[in-house]
Amino acid sequence: MVFSSYLFIFFFLPLALLGYYTAPKKLRHLALTIFSYIFYGWANPSFCKTNSENYKKNQLIKLEQLWNRLLSHNLKRI
């Protein structure tokens, strides 16, 4: 699916926007994530695996950064 295709403009984009704005605020990020998996999986299903691996790596990096920030904050209090 290409960004300039009729399928994207008249089907996928309105559906993604509807899903985003009807989702509760806490779940909007998840809605966009699901729609991005559908979009990239439409072109090549192996992209879903690549995206999920990248997502997991990013989450681990984010948790590590949060952990380091908490440790440094607690060390400053001592």
Cα 14 to chain centroid distance, Å, stands at 18
pLDDT in tens, the chain (78 residues): 778 889 989 999 999 999 999 999 999 999 998 999 999 888 888 988 988 899 899 999 999 999 998 888 776 665
Question: What is the C-alpha to C-alpha distance for residues 71 and 78, in angstroms, rounded to an integer?
Answer: 11
33 close to 20: Cβ distance less than 8 angstroms: no
What global pTM score does this model have?
Answer: 0.67
HSE toward the beta carbon, residue 39, CA cutoff 13 A: 18
